[in-house]
């Protein structure tokens, strides 16, 4: 099936924003959550789920559920291998450099691994131990493994039951479901990994965003599928809410913490728990993107750089982690370790590296397609 270059460009933009956010520079805070209290991670997960729903539903309809399931599993295995390779890079290259120069940004990041390397290595390959920055791909793998069963159910019985179950699980996650399950595992299975070393993202909350995107993508394959449309009053309301969120984020005195030191109120916008007001902020931005995005994209030149990065999202994501981890190892996590022009050069070098990785990945993909007599690859690559 034909790719939508607009979606690839958006995914590329999300990758650039992630890179700017994760690299410790003077641009980290101003460009973190640039559109309100929503980060690039939400956009990237939602777009990836949309593409997965669009592509794999078509495979299921044309080749059967078994073929769809195998396609999901192949993708999950590919992501797992990328996660394992990135972990190996972290534990060897970054860990060695960071410990030799006694870099706190690295020793703090790897505190559990440094305390018990063999145990941490095994549990990292089991996707239980998830060091910071390397905790989004395990969640993605979990979603990919669950998706064929959810899609198969939805194709037979509709999406109502899926949406209700997903929303219920999200609500339970807001009230400590993850902590409760961890306590059971620690008590009855002797799980040694500390809870805070199991990744910042609450997968039980974020699955709601994934399956919402999966539903939106799958719905595009219906014979009577119509473009998403919203009434004018809803678009106006979304615009007002989005503008207020943007103003609050950039002109409020608390920056990315909407309620300052009030931790309980900040949970309403919490990224890791996918708080309810964060979802509202994402929804209003999504309404505006659907309403005005297509016309906007038609009026601007194609962004081939972003498009290339979005087309090769997995290798580019891993490449951005490599760059960020190396910067942490050599410079630490200070955002003022370099002059402003040094930050500009660093960002330019890293973004150039990501583009080179993207072009190389696309070249390899074309070669593989030519060897397979022109058979197209599955789009989510």
The per-residue b/e assignment along 286-306, b for 16 or more CB within 10 angstroms, e otherwise, is: bbbbbbeeeeeeeeeeebebb
- Can you tell me the distance from the alpha carbon of 358 to that of 363, in angstroms, rounded to the nearest whole number? 9
Sequence-distant (6+) residues with CB within 8 A of 347 are 19, 20, 23, 25, 27
- Can you tell me the distance from the alpha carbon of 314 to that of 326, in angstroms, rounded to the nearest whole number? 19
Q: What share of the chain is helix, strand, coil (3-state, %, to 5)?
A: 75, 0, 25
- Can you tell me the distance from the alpha carbon of 17 to that of 33, in angstroms, rounded to the nearest whole number? 9
- Can you tell me the distance from the alpha carbon of 53 to that of 74, in angstroms, rounded to the nearest whole number? 15
Q: Where are the beta strands (DSSP E) in 146-214?
A: none
Phi/psi for 361 (5° steps) reads -65, -40
In this prediction, residue 30 carries a pLDDT of 87
- Can you tell me the distance from the alpha carbon of 248 to that of 107, in angstroms, rounded to the nearest whole number? 35
Residue ranges of domains in the chain = 5-230+301-371
- CB atoms under 10 Å from CB of 367, counted, come to 10
- Can you tell me the distance from the alpha carbon of 375 to that of 99, in angstroms, rounded to the nearest whole number? 47
- Can you tell me the distance from the alpha carbon of 13 to that of 43, in angstroms, rounded to the nearest whole number? 10
- C-alpha gyration radius of the chain: 21
Give the burial class of 44: count Cβ atoms within 10 A of its Cβ; 0-12 exposed, 13-18 middle, 19 or more buried.
buried
Reduced to 3 states, what is the DSSP secondary structure of residue 198? strand
The answer to whether 271 touches 39, Cβ cutoff 8 Å, is yes
Reduced to 3 states, what is the DSSP secondary structure of residue 368? helix
- Can you tell me the distance from the alpha carbon of 225 to that of 217, in angstroms, rounded to the nearest whole number? 11
- CB atoms under 10 Å from CB of 251, counted, come to 8
Instruction: Report the chain (381 residues): mean pLDDT per 10 consecutive residues.
Output: 83 95 93 92 94 93 92 96 97 95 94 96 97 95 96 92 96 96 95 95 97 94 83 96 93 78 90 96 95 90 93 96 96 92 96 97 88 61 61
Tokens encoding 328: 């942490």
- Can you tell me the distance from the alpha carbon of 296 to that of 279, in angstroms, rounded to the nearest whole number? 24
- Can you tell me the distance from the alpha carbon of 74 to that of 77, in angstroms, rounded to the nearest whole number? 5
The answer to whether 106 touches 97, Cβ cutoff 8 Å, is yes
The answer to whether 275 touches 174, Cβ cutoff 8 Å, is yes
The answer to whether 12 touches 310, Cβ cutoff 8 Å, is yes
Strand-pairing partners, residue 198, are 130
- Can you tell me the distance from the alpha carbon of 256 to that of 366, in angstroms, rounded to the nearest whole number? 42
The per-residue b/e assignment along 4-24, b for 16 or more CB within 10 angstroms, e otherwise, is: ebbbbbbbbbbbbbbbbbbbb
């Amino acid at each position: 099936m034909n790719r939508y270059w607009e979606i690839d460009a958006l995914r590329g933009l999300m990758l650039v924003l992630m890179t700017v956010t994760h690299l410790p520079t003077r641009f980290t805070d101003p460009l973190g959550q640039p559109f309100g209290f929503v980060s690039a991670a939400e956009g990237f997960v939602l777009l990836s789920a949309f593409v997965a729903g669009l592509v794999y539903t078509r495979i299921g309809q044309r080749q059967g559920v078994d073929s769809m399931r195998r396609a999901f599993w192949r993708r999950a295995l590919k992501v797992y291998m990328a996660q394992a390779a990135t972990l190996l890079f972290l534990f060897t290259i970054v860990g060695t450099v960071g410990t030799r120069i006694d870099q706190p940004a690295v020793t703090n990041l790897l505190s559990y691994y440094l305390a018990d390397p063999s145990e941490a290595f095994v549990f990292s390959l089991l996707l239980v131990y998830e060091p910071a920055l390397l905790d989004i791909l395990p969640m993605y793998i979990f979603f990919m493994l669950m998706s064929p069963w959810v899609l198969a159910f939805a194709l037979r019985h509709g999406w109502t039951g899926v949406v209700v179950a997903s929303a219920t699980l999200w609500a339970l996650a807001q009230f400590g479901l993850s902590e409760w399950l961890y306590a059971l595992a620690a008590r009855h299975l002797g799980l040694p990994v500390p809870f805070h070393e199991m990744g910042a993202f609450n997968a039980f909350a974020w699955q709601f965003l994934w399956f919402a995107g999966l539903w939106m993508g799958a719905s595009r394959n219906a014979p009577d599928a119509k473009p998403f449309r919203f009434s004018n009053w809803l678009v106006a309301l979304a615009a007002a809410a989005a503008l207020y969120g943007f103003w609050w984020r950039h002109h409020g005195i608390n920056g990315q913490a909407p309620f300052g030191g009030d931790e309980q109120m900040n949970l309403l916008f919490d990224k890791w728990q996918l708080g309810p007001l964060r979802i509202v902020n994402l929804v209003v931005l999504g309404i505006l993107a659907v309403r005005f995005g297509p016309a906007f994209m038609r009026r601007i030149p194609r962004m081939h750089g972003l498009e290339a990065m979005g087309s090769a999202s997995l290798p580019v994501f891993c490449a951005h982690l490599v760059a960020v981890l190396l910067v942490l190892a050599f410079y630490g996590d200070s955002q003022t370790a370099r002059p402003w022009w040094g930050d500009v050069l660093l960002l330019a070098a890293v973004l150039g590296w990501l583009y080179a990785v993207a072009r190389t990945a696309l070249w390899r993909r074309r070669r593989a397609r030519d060897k397979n007599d022109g058979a197209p690859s599955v789009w989510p690559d």
